[in-house]
Amino acid sequence: MRPLIILGTGLAGYTLAREFRKLDAERPLWLITQDDGRSYSKPMLSNGLSKGKSADDLGMATAEAMAAQLNATIRTDVQVFAIDRAQRTITVGSEVVEYGDLVLAIGAAVFRPPLEGDGDDKVFSVNDLEDYARFRAALGEQGRRVLIIGGGLIGCEFANDLAASGYQVELVEPMGRPLPTLLPERASEAVASGLRSLGVNFHFAGVTAVNLAGDGVRATLSDGSTVDADLVLSAIGLRPRVELARAAGLAVERGIVTDRFLRTTDEHIYALGDCAEVEGKVLLYVLPLMAAARALAKTLAGEATQVAYPAMPVQIKTPVTPVVVAPVAPGVKGEWSVEADGNNVRAEFRNAEGQLVGFALTGSQATDMKVKAELARALPPILA
Ligand code: FAD
């Protein structure tokens, strides 16, 4: 029997494998990954420092342990770079492997800004356990200065983690405030004020160049100013990995296009997690991939099941100013209404028909479970 092959051993790949094994203990199962196949929780990468966790502490199980647990063959440190849909084979390194069904769980890649200058070796990004290990090794002693490019979710989480751990953080964000695409202005102010209280310095401009200077770097910003730092963390965004699917002739938009069965435009190839665009939705969060994994496991075990996404508020790990946000879908028109008391903000976004379609909570509003639950219940599902 040809195996079910899952490409990728991130949260999407391993969650799917676990869910599938609950339903089918026998079918040959392979997982193939270009990393070392350790199981870990990616959200821990941006608060691991203040929790005192090294990369090895965050690795929960080795590929060998996962293979035993899942009754699976796991191939690590190999990149799959071609799919032959007619033969139903993939090229793994120099080997050609047959599949019955193939699942793409290949995640999203870091988008790096085009920067001038010779400081590239001092610019890091953290999107997996191996990146985290490299960044931690370069970070060095407390007190060193880290320039973070990007004040989105990942940039703000790292800013909190580093500043709370004794590092000097310079945060550069061109859109004028932290979390500009997720929060209304007043809620961004609450986050900025919290991070400033930890010593984070904001620079509202773009970075145009990073040059080596002494043992560190000097960054030049779009307003002409310069910022010195020991190293740089680039956190300006992630893009679904679509190249493999595109080269195989599968439909690709912002992510690998799937229907609600997580099926791509090939009936034997599926996609989920950060690489997938499910019915037009690209959601780079854990809860959607969990829902997708449960549905796809059933489909692969013989019971065709569509994925449903309820409203899924996201908790942003900035403990100095806790944040919970139910992001407003791109392109939806409407208005924010905001109640604020210091860093405690409750903001509700209603569309033109007056329906609640997003919210943002900060400070004590974000930690009040009743408020969050009540608002989440009032939201429409993302995919009914
Ligand atoms: P990945 O974990 O990226 O896994 C992709 C896998 O595919 C890897 O094993 C890789 O080796 C493999 N691969 C890729 N290409 C190939 C190839 N060609 N051949 C073979 N293997 C390949 N979400 C939340 O909901 N809450 C949070 O608090 C949160 N915090 C985050 C903090 C950080 C720092 C980051 C970076 C993300 C965070 N997220 C958070 C997002 C969340 O972690 C991701 O949505 C999720 O982990 C994506 O899992 P994935 O399995 O789809 O992708």
Nearest to 151 by CA among 185, 177, 170, 113: 177
Angle separating helix axes 63-70 and 11-23, nearest 10 degrees:
20
Enumerate the H helices of 140-242 as residue ranges.
153-164, 185-197
Segments in 75-200 forming alpha helices (H): 129-139, 153-164, 185-197
Distance 290 CA to ligand 1 centre (A): 12
Q: Write the ipTM.
A: 0.99
Q: Which pLDDT does position 330 carry in this prediction?
A: 87
Amino acid 93: pLDDT: 84
Token digits of residue 81: 């770079």
Residue 53 DSSP SS3: coil
C-alpha 34 to ligand 1 mean position (Å): 13
- State the 10-residue block means of pLDDT for the chain, 384 residues long: 97 98 98 97 97 96 98 96 96 93 98 91 96 96 96 98 98 97 97 98 97 97 97 96 98 98 98 98 97 98 97 97 96 96 98 97 97 96 95
Contacts of 91 (CB under 8 A, 6+ apart): 80, 81, 82, 83, 84, 97
pLDDT at 285: 96
Ligand 1 centroid, distance to 229 Cα (angstroms): 28
Give residue 138's identity as a one-letter amino acid code: A
- Among all chains, which residue has been given the structure tokens 């997720």? 182
Q: Which two tokens stand for residue 314?
A: 């996201």
**Euclidean distance between the first and final Cα of the chain, in Å?**
36
| Res 112: pLDDT | 85
Domains and CATH numbers, the chain: 4-109+238-300 (3.50.50.60), 112-234 (3.50.50.60), 322-378 (3.30.390.120)
pLDDT digits (tens, 9 = 90+) for 44-100: 999 999 999 999 999 999 999 999 999 999 999 999 989 999 999 999 988 899 999
Q: Which of 50, 286, 290, 312 to mutate to test the pocket of ligand 1 (most atoms within 8 A of CB)?
A: 286
Q: Is the CB of 177 under 6 A from ligand 1?
A: no
Nearest protein CA to atom 31 of ligand 1, as residue: 43
Residue 296: name the closest of 102, 82, 140, 80 by CA. Answer: 102
How far away, in angstroms, is 272 Cα from ligand 1 center?
11
Please report the beta strands in 252-320, taking only residues with DSSP state E, as ranges in sequence order: 256-258, 269-271, 276-278, 314-316
How many angstroms does the Cα of residue 280 sit away from the middle of ligand 1?
19
Q: Is the CB of 75 under 6 A from ligand 1?
A: no
